[in-house]
């Protein structure tokens, strides 16, 4: 994902919606609640209980694909015999701001893996050092030197968004710091020649076409209007989906670009109302998707709302309320198992959310390297580059450019 976190604009609505938005801005009280089925759950605006429920996992052709075996996932505790000097794993992303949940979900996943490891390995203690970027590329470049110049930091789980990854990737690569992103999905990131970059999930060049083919195969959507926020993430995802659907389905006459943080969507709503599409595909984040969806429904536009991993969060449900009902959401992330959810909540007090599992899995991989004596940045880069193992979310094995050798997408529905 990508994007610059900006001040959240709250759409007109119930007091519950305003309160939820305030929690998102604070970044410390809002909870991502990932239930045992893998969907986010919470109370939507207007007092309606809504949940995000998994529908199906699909491959690059939009066809159903079986889920992996999470029971065989690597354990961050290892054998309990590891020995190392105190080390640090950094995490960077939005920990405050309108899209803070997407970073907090990951940070808590990192902490869970470290907690399991450190309890089992008293002679090898690895800590976390979080860096709050608010998802802003400029702020990411400001904190990057602190990560690069801290000799105790041997790896980074992050950055979270594609924009901040793009802005800092060369700095990380030049410093030999392995950076494993659990959530940055812009397809072009792996084309920069970075030597220490590893993406822990499918990119948008896979997600967009896979979702497009899935929608085509359903036979339900003859006309889709594509709306994209003005971010690297949204633009890339919208283009890959539109190109795959073709102009006969993704009608260019009703394609819309909106500015992050925009308050009044009435011109876009009017244009979409006149277009009368079967579905609207929104590429972006929940901070703007929630008021956009509310204004769509208030304007009488009832086309199916379809969106992405940037919107798949309990805050979308809370802030959009009943307007989110029936939305379809895609994500290269997968449902979390019951045991993971229980462990996650026991440690953090929060339910797991989008990318919590990826944060945990990628931290586990780094810990396995450290436990095997790979305690320098360069050694860890080599370890990850040659890694091949099962995680909770998926199997992790990378191509030379930092892309996974196999990538799958999950479809979810708000009910």
**Residue 135, phi-psi category: left (phi > 0), alpha (psi -120 to 50), beta (remainder):** left
Read off the pLDDT of residues 52-62 as tens digits, 9 standing for 90 and up.
Answer: 999 999 999 99
Q: Which of 277, 309, 334 is the last residue of a domain?
A: 334
Do 140 and 232 lie in one domain? The reply is no
pLDDT band at 1 (very low <50, low <70, confident <90, very high): low
343 and 196 inside one domain: yes
Question: Within this chain, do residues 214 and 321 fall inside the same structural domain, yes or no?
Answer: yes
284-307: average pLDDT: 97
* Shared domain check, 212 and 196: no
pLDDT tens digits along 99-116: 899 999 999 999 999 999
281 and 222 inside one domain:
yes
Average pLDDT over residues 44-65: 82
Least confident segment among 17-21, 322-326, 358-362, 386-390? 17-21
Query: Which of 334, 356, 389 is a domain's end point?
Result: 334
Q: Which of 334, 359, 375 is the last residue of a domain?
A: 334
Does residue 47 register a pLDDT over 60? no
pLDDT for position 45: 40
pLDDT of 68 reads 76
> What is the CATH classification number for the domain harbouring 274?
3.40.50.2300
Q: How many CB atoms lie within 10 A of CB 311?
A: 31
Q: Which residues pair with 409 in a beta bridge?
A: 58
Residue 248's domain spans which residues?
15-66+204-334
Is residue 24 packed enough to be buried (19+ CB in 10 Å), middle (13-18) or exposed (0-12)?
buried
Count of domains for the chain: 2
* Same domain for 303 and 223: yes
Q: Is the pLDDT of residue 80 over 70?
A: yes
Q: Which of 8, 43, 47 is nearest to 26 (CA)?
A: 8
Q: What is the pLDDT of residue 99?
A: 87
Q: Is the pLDDT of residue 299 over 80?
A: yes
Residue 177 sits in the same domain as residue 253 = no
- Going by pLDDT thresholds of 50, 70 and 90, the confidence category of residue 279 is very high
Mean pLDDT over residues 3-22, rounded? 33
In angstroms, rounded to a whole number, what is the distance separating the alpha carbons of residues 397 and 414? 32
How confident is the model over 284-293, as a mean pLDDT? 96
- The rounded mean pLDDT for the chain is 89
Q: Inform me whether the pLDDT recorded for 17 exceeds 60.
A: no
Nearest-angstrom CA–CA distance, 71 and 89: 25
Q: Looking at the domain assignment, is residue 1 inside a domain?
A: no
Residue 10 lies in a domain: no
Instruction: Give domain status of residue 314, yes or no.
Output: yes
177 plus 234 within the same structural domain: no
In a domain, 8, yes or no: no
Q: What percent of the chain has pLDDT over 90?
A: 82
Q: Which of 69-73, 229-233, 384-388 has the highest mean pLDDT?
A: 384-388
- At 44 the pLDDT is 36
Residue 226 lies inside a defined structural domain of this protein: yes
Residue 48 pLDDT > 80, yes or no? Answer: no
Q: DSSP letters of 157-215?
A: E---SHHHHHHHHHHHHHTT--EEESS---GGGGGS--SSEEE-S--HHHHHHHHHHHH
Stretch among 42-51, 296-305, 339-348 having the lowest mean pLDDT: 42-51
Q: Domain check: are 159 and 271 in the same one?
A: no
Residue 123 has pLDDT above 60, yes or no: yes
User: Are both 29 and 113 inside the same structural domain?
Assistant: no
Q: What is the pLDDT of residue 89?
A: 98
Q: What is the pLDDT of residue 20?
A: 32
Burial class of residue 333, CB neighbours in 10 A (0-12, 13-18, 19+): buried
Of 9-13, 198-202, 309-313, the least confident: 9-13
pLDDT for res 18: 32
So what's the pLDDT on residue 71?
87
Model confidence, pTM: 0.81
Average pLDDT over residues 331-347: 93
Percent helix, strand and coil across the chain, each to the nearest 5: 40, 20, 40
């Amino acid at each position: 994902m990508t994007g610059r976190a900006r001040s959240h604009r709250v759409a007109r609505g119930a007091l519950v919606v305003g309160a939820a938005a305030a929690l998102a801005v604070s970044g410390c009280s809002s909870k991502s609640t990932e239930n045992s089925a893998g969907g986010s759950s919470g109370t939507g605006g207007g007092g309606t209980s809504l949940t995000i429920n998994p529908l199906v996992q699909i491959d690059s052709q939009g066809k159903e694909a079986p889920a992996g075996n999470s029971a065989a996932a690597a354990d961050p505790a290892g054998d309990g015999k590891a020995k190392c000097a105190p080390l640090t794993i950094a995490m960077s992303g939005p920990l405050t701001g309108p899209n803070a949940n997407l970073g907090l979900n990951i940070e808590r996943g990192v902490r869970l893996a470290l907690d399991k490891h450190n309890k089992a390995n008293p002679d090898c203690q690895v800590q976390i050092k979080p860096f709050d970027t608010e998802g802003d590329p400029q702020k990411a470049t400001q904190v990057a030197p602190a990560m690069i110049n801290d000799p105790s930091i041997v790896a980074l789980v992050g950055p979270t968004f594609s924009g901040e990854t793009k802005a800092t990737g060369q700095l990380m690569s030049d410093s030999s710091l392995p950076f494993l992103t659990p959530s940055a999905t812009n397809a072009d990131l792996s084309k920069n020649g970075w030597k220490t970059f590893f993406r822990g999930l499918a990119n948008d060049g896979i997600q967009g076409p896979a979702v497009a083919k899935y929608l085509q195969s359903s036979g339900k959507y003859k006309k889709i209007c594509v709306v994209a926020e003005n971010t690297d993430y949204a633009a890339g995802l919208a283009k890959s989906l539109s190109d795959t659907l073709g102009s006969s389905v993704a009608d260019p006459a009703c394609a819309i670009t909106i500015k992050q943080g925009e308050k009044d969507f009435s011109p876009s709503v009017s244009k979409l109302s006149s277009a009368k599409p079967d579905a609207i595909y929104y590429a972006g984040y929940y901070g703007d998707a929630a008021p956009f969806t509310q204004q769509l429904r208030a304007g009488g536009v009832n086309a199916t709302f379809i969106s992405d991993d940037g919107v798949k969060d309990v805050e979308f449900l809370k802030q959009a309320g009943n307007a989110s009902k029936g939305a379809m959401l895609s994500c290269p992330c997968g449902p979390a198992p019951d045991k993971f959810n229980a462990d996650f909540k026991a440690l953090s007090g929060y339910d797991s959310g989008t990318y919590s599992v990826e944060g945990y899995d990628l931290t586990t991989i780094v810990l396995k390297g450290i436990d095997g004596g790979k305690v320098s940045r360069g050694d860890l880069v080599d370890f990850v580059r040659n890694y091949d193992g099962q995680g909770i979310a998926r199997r992790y094995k990378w191509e030379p450019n930092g892309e996974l050798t196999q990538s799958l997408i999950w479809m979810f529905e708000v009910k």
